[in-house]
């Protein structure tokens, strides 16, 4: 069977040169972040010489190439980025600075380099006056986990079974939810 490729019309109002510019921008941003992560100072220098604005590029979390290099302790990349005018106290979406990322991962040489360029340990859990390790937030409780004491099993029904146990439809705060109930023989937890 052959496949048919249809040309889609673009109703967004942008022309092909706009799309090409966006594609180039995304590619260059990806490259500068990649080279920062892999401590490739010569490739960084080449990119930044061609497009100095890339020193302030950001990923989807607002992390600059300097954040990425500091997070992984890539000293040559940090030095190159600082030499090209990177903001030593740039903040990502968690309001963490590159120095906070370097401190959080115990990259002491990178910490000293950033401090020598005026870096401050800034972050949503840190202080600008004392050095604190500030990693991006990681949830202790996942959004999809709920407190078992809030479940109402009074009108629950079994909606599935398997070798591990059964799946029930119960209510949580008036909302129907699916609940996995593990067979007691499969768990060491006395509450199961």
Beta strands in 52-150 (DSSP E): none
Q: 5-14 in b/e burial notation, b at 16+ Cβ within 10 A?
A: eeeeeeeeee
**49-100, pLDDT tens digit by residue?**
999 999 999 998 999 999 999 999 999 999 999 999 999 999 998 889 999 9
What is the arithmetic mean of pLDDT over 10-15?
53
Each domain of the chain, given as residue ranges in start order, spans 16-116, 148-186
Res 185: pLDDT: 77
**32-61, pLDDT tens digit by residue?**
999 999 999 999 999 999 999 999 999 989
What is the arithmetic mean of pLDDT over 132-140?
54
Q: Is the pLDDT of residue 18 over 80?
A: no
pTM score over 0.85: no
Distance, CA of 192 to chain centre: 35
Fold of 16-116: 1.25.40
Res 139: pLDDT: 56
Res 19: pLDDT: 80
Res 20: pLDDT: 76
- Which of 32, 34, 136, 140 minimizes the C-alpha distance to 91? 136
Write down the mean pLDDT value for the chain.
82
Res 4: pLDDT: 44
Res 5: pLDDT: 39
Spatial neighbors of 191 by CB under 8 A, at least 6 apart, are none
Residue 180 assigned as binding residue: yes
């Amino acid at each position: 069977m052959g496949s048919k490729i249809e040309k889609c019309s673009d109703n967004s109002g942008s022309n092909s040169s706009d799309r090409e510019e966006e594609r180039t921008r995304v590619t260059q941003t990806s490259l500068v972040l990649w080279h920062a992560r892999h401590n490739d100072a010569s490739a960084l220098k080449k990119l930044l010489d061609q497009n100095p604005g890339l020193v302030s590029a950001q990923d989807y979390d607002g992390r600059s190439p300097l954040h990425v290099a500091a997070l992984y302790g890539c000293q040559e990349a940090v030095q190159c980025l600082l030499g090209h005018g990177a903001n030593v106290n740039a903040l990502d979406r968690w309001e963490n600075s590159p120095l906070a990322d370097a401190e959080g991962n115990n990259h002491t040489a990178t910490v000293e380099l950033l401090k020598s360029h005026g870096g401050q340990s800034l972050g949503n859990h840190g202080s600008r006056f004392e050095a604190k390790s500030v990693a991006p937030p990681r949830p202790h409780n996942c959004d999809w986990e709920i407190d078992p004491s809030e479940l109402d099993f009074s009108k629950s029904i079994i909606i599935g079974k398997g070798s591990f146990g059964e799946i029930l439809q119960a209510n949580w705060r008036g909302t129907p939810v699916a609940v996995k109930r593990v067979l007691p023989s499969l768990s060491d937890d006395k509450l199961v």
